[in-house]
Amino acid sequence: MPRSLPKLQTDRRKKRLKLALISTCCVLLTLAMLALGLYYIIRFINLKFYFCAGSLEFVAIAAVCDGKDDCMDGEDELKCVSNLKTNSAYPVRLVSKRLILQVSDENHKWSSVCAENWNTWHTRAVCQQLGYMQNPRSMQVPVSSLPSDLCTAFVALNTEPQQASSNIQSSLAARDQCTSSSVISLSCSDCGEVVSEDRVIGGAETAVELWPWQASVQWYRQHVCGGALISTRWVISAAHCFAGRTQELGAWRVVLGQTYMTSYGGISMEAIIIHGHYDPVGHDYDVSMLRLTWDVTPGASIHPVCLPPYQLSIKEGEELVVTGWGTLRENGELSSVLEKATVPLIGWSKCSNSSIYGSALTPRMLCAGYLKGGVDSCQGDSGGPLVYLGSRWQLVGVVSWGTGCARRGKPGVYTNISQLLDWIYAMMEVSVHVMIVGG
């Protein structure tokens, strides 16, 4: 008998410990299920209702941003996706691969800017007018090295320019020629820096450090589209990404600097602007501008891509790169890791052939891919960047639409950024107040 007592006590302790572990696991599982249930309840409420903080009431999400004040203080109409258009050419532009600065007069005549009397203040002023605040630089380019179309008209700064004016055009006067024999070439940011590299359908896994402008545009923390960072405050995406979804800004976030798909670290937006001419049926003018709530700090995994200059010449067949987390096959699931694919530019006349896309293609669109199929952007890549490597990476397209994904004879169609530069620069220049109220 004395020998069996210790064994009995040990068995009892083991049973109590086992019961304690089971109870703890049950409690933890119950808490996890409650937390998960609470998450989905909150998510359901957010998808269906908007909370009016001022009047402590809920209104249907469909009533938010509908032009009518449903909250007592109208807060449901204060922060909404805007639709803005511009009817005139932006008066300042950078032309060709050499980024020659040109300005237009009241008659819409373009003139190259001579180098005489130019200084760093003017460089900063023009870059600020173009919507950039980071690392502006200028250099002098000999007139003799320019193509003839950039030498037809010139303007130069007055001897004593009025530096109080933020509009550089007011300090310029027409000239027959540049006495300095040089014109100004301008670079407004350290965009599109090249990083050496020792799925998008048919693509390959990559890292965000190689494409640090890549953005994930998320609706209630779910990835719906890609985007491209073009400055420390602005992201470009597609207009159709916001169709049929909540127009209230609080539903949207942008995630930057991530290779693997995540909702962590999302940045809220103080303005989402859809092109005023956007056609949701024909996909024309399929572009949007997203202004982040704060400036991001450029680094190895977050860095803007360059906007293309006016008159950028890319030949048919030249290689472009598209990146995103889109589906790896038509109607498949999103990729968990960033993918990239190299696709050649397809000439507009070829892509607008009746056997491909015909009259559905507009001048605001370009095609890239293989007519034999096999490599393409797909669902979830929409709004993402199509880039071209000149001296730096330049954003030439935004993933827009196509018939299926990677089908034979149906390449990807992209919004042609070079055709929309006037609108992009106008949106970057306009004040935040105007952007939010003007929708």
Partners of 60 in the β-ladder:
49
Other beta carbons within 10 angstroms of residue 322's beta carbon come to 29
How far apart, in whole angstroms, are the C-alpha atoms of residue 181 and residue 174?
15
Q: Is residue 404 part of a domain?
A: yes
Amino acid 39: pLDDT: 58
Q: Is residue 325 part of a domain?
A: yes
- 212: exposed, middle or buried (C-beta count within 10 Å: 0-12, 13-18, 19+)? buried
How far apart, in whole angstroms, are the C-alpha atoms of residue 245 and residue 251?
9
Q: Which residues are catalytic?
A: 240, 286, 382
Q: Which residue among 187, 217, 245 closes a domain?
A: 187
Report the sign of the C-alpha dihedral through residues 33, 39, 40, 41, in that order.
Answer: positive
135 in the same domain as 237: no
| Phi, psi of 110, deg, nearest 5 | -90, 140
Host domain of residue 135? 92-187
How far apart, in whole angstroms, are the C-alpha atoms of residue 273 and residue 237?
10
Q: Is residue 55 part of a domain?
A: no
How far apart, in whole angstroms, are the C-alpha atoms of residue 297 and residue 287?
25
Q: Is residue 29 part of a domain?
A: no
How far apart, in whole angstroms, are the C-alpha atoms of residue 50 and residue 189?
39
**What's the half-sphere exposure (Cβ side, CA atoms, 13 Å) at 224?**
20
Q: Is residue 62 part of a domain?
A: no
Q: Which residue among 159, 187, 215 closes a domain?
A: 187
358 in the same domain as 217: yes
For residue 144, the domain's CATH number is 3.10.250.10
Number of domains composing the chain: 2
406 in the same domain as 345: yes
242 in the same domain as 123: no
151 in the same domain as 257: no
Q: Is residue 357 part of a domain?
A: yes
Contact 321, 342 (CB under 8 A): yes
233 in the same domain as 174: no
Q: Is residue 54 part of a domain?
A: no
| 222-252 burial: b if 16+ Cβ within 10 Å, else e | ebbbbbbbbbbbbbbbbbbbbeeebbbbebb
How far apart, in whole angstroms, are the C-alpha atoms of residue 394 and residue 96?
12
The residue to which tokens 């992201």 are assigned: 235
State whether residue 272 is helix, strand or coil.
Answer: strand
Q: Is residue 52 part of a domain?
A: no
Q: Where are the beta strands (DSSP E) in 4-56?
A: 49-52
The residue to which tokens 């509009």 are assigned: 167
Which alpha helices (DSSP H) does 271-413 contain, by range?
A: 348-351
Amino acid 44: pLDDT: 56
For residue 318, the domain's CATH number is 2.40.10.10
State whether residue 104 is helix, strand or coil.
Answer: strand
Amino acid 23: pLDDT: 78
Report the sign of the C-alpha dihedral through residues 168, 174, 180, 182, in that order.
Answer: positive
Q: Which residue among 161, 187, 213 closes a domain?
A: 187
| Phi, psi of 251, deg, nearest 5 | -80, -10
179 in the same domain as 262: no
How far apart, in whole angstroms, are the C-alpha atoms of residue 197 and residue 52?
49
353 in the same domain as 228: yes
213 in the same domain as 142: no
The token pair at 54 is 């001022």
267 in the same domain as 340: yes
Contact 351, 371 (CB under 8 A): no
209 in the same domain as 179: no
Amino acid 415: pLDDT: 97
| 169-203 burial: b if 16+ Cβ within 10 Å, else e | bebbeebeebebebbbbbbbbebbeeeeeebbbbb
222 in the same domain as 96: no
**pTM summary value:** 0.81
Ranges under pLDDT 50 in the chain: 1-5, 161-162, 164, 198-199, 431-439
Amino acid 47: pLDDT: 60
